Chains A and B, each alone.
Chain A
Amino acid sequence: MKIHEHQAKEILAKYGVPVPKGIVAYSVDEAVKAAEELGGGVVVKAQIHAGGRGKGGGVKLAANPQETREKAEKILGMTLVTHQTGPEGRLVQRLLIEEQMPIDKEFYAGIVLDRAIGKLVFMASSEGGMDIEEVAAHTPEKILKEVIEPGMGLQAYQARNLAFGMGIPVGSINAAVQTMQALAKAYEAIDASLAEINPLLLTKDGRIIALDAKIAIDDNALFRHKDLAALRDLSEEDPLEVEASKYGLNYIKLDGTVACMVNGAGLAMATMDIVQYAGGSPANFLDVGGGANEEQIRNAFRILLSDANVKAIFINIFGGILRCDTLANGVVKAARELDVKVPIVVRMEGTNVDLGKQILRESGLNFGLADGMKDGAEKVVALAK
């Protein structure tokens, strides 16, 4: 689960990471009031769940409350397009108004899970303010790493290695060490899946400050963080994905025309692949799970059909725990109730497959039955054209 920059900074501040003074604003008037309260020059920052906001015109300096009003009017309500939002962009619905900082130099600090060793890795770099993926691709030697032992946290010597290594001046080393240790502490405390401070700022007066912050939280751990779960901003997510999550369906909207309904995440991805291979384009990823019931199938159908781009539906089920007859009953019922107009191709295999096929045939509805995944993909792609 992603959260906004202002939320990430509030969390980090609680664990001892220094952040600029800032106030969140949901309207232009609130933005002006925030600027008056902060005094002096401020930064007006669009709050959306995507990076690259500065380049997209979502971050502006304002010297006084009047300028803040002008900038806020421009940014609030704009559709911000960045390299992470896709061409459709994101509507800006809140701003972070922050005090301006006397920038001397920008660094990078971040934590990710290294799957190969099963441990967290703290990454630091002198190349702050850039995309860390770019740094990793072009100048990997400029990324310093320290492995965090589970349950131990980032040790002071590790933070010193990083701080000296990336060229923090001696007078600011202790501040950098404390900041990095605080970031690591926050990561573990909130069950993050990503935490990044970029840039990590060295100010002209030697302070270390998190100028920007990005945090994602492990969805699997939200059960023990009710307070963090409340930070979820549904308006930042695709409405169909939000709807699907209510029914325990794992749905991701894509931009093709062939809707896919599949059980199991691996098979669901492979189904998207084979649709593409057959010359079509998948409209979504949808995993109905191992134990889907008729109700879930019905809701899955409803969600697939609310995507206006969908021209045909491909149901690809390998029945294990989910029996083919249960699925067939759900599909028939849903197709009748929802008066499905687009063609449906069903490929079923596994438990009670014959019974399932019989139910579909005897329904009187026009299902295309496929013999294998490849046949199904070819049939559905032909129908979607």
Chain B
Amino acid sequence: MSANLSAILYLVSGVLFILALRGLSSPETSRQGNLFGIIGMVIAVTVTFLSVGNFSSGFIYVLMFLALGGSIGAFIAYRIPMTAMPELVAGFHSLVGLAAVFVAISAFINPAAFNLGTPGNIKLASLIEMAIGAAVGAITFSGSVIAFLKLQGIMSGAPITFKGQHLLNALLLILIIILTIYLCSTQSSNLFWILIAVSFLIGFLIIIPIGGADMPVVISMLNSYSGWAAAGIGFTLENTALIITGALVGSSGAILSYIMCKGMNRSFFNVILGGFGGADQTTGSQSKEQRPVKSGNADDAAFLMKNASSVIIVPGYGMAVAQAQHALREMVDTLKKNDIKVSYAIHPVAGRMPGHMNVLLAEANVPYDEVFELEEINNDFANADVAFVIGANDVTNPVAKTDPQSPIYGMPVLDVEKCKSVLFVKRSLSPGYAGIDNDLFYKENTLMLFADAKKMTEDITKNL
């Protein structure tokens, strides 16, 4: 296949990837978008086979490994529960990162296969691109592995900090730049290996100080990195499909990180440097005063909701942990039978990744046109009779609007307190991730329902 023809076909697959993302602007077009993505991938892989044109015994092995990886991937995709989506995405990011590292290593060992020169005499530009691709890939890999372990609960979600952490990271980053410069002048393979090792280390160090609820930012950030790594490799291979895709994924991840940071009213650097979590958490629990709360049972909750004409549900990470989404939908079905208007309010950072709650509700067959974003629904709380907060905490805390001293001051929150009454399903009075007390617990019109989210929801349904 001629180089020009394959370049055009790579461009076609790049365009199909753009259309795949474009499709996600609405759920109706999204399935078609995914199809475009798959076609784009098939074109890219086929073109590569045809342009390499080497159908020797190696080709059989390529197909075998492709089938092996593919069946592992397909198996995971069908088996994974929707609540585990953040872990899955983090895991997948690590694979892209590692694949980028492997491709860079291979290109470094055998540059002739990629038309980049000969070993020890690689074109300067290619060497820089390769080094960037490998370094970013390695950071993506080790960072994603840590994120995966934290989300999976294998590693504690608490931030791990030590003295001189930021200084060490900064030094390592400078070291990477120095290594790249030396690598370019000496072409030494030892430097290349050290560069990769240091990058692995820095990925690890960047993610360990970041706490569980900041994961939406981290996952988006790693998403972005995996894109830049792919783009770096794309420049090395002079492949348009990879460059386009890398740029798309890179900017997509960056935008998601931005949206997540805005949802917490924190700067990107504040999150990356491990801002809140550790220290605040301890002071928060110490200064907790004993204030009276009203607590109730499923019967009271059912009574309140039965007499309401509109109910707004506020789900959070706790719903995912308790796997309460199906029970919740059953409760809502019962409410609807009693002619009660029900809608869902989703905070941008609810859950552990962007859009986490929406997927869980969709899994429980909640129609997506009943689910609203913060800006769309925040004014409706004042007119609603009951707000049902299930597994959310900080995102409902009115302190963010009233107390400039609070660490979450300025964070956009759901105006839950404006509802006539608030039902708050929670296991205990413990503070949320930000480590601060939620004023909402002590409000006159709040009824605390201390129980497991799933069990409580089921009990309420029985009582309705």
Question: Do the two chains belong together in a single complex?
Answer: no
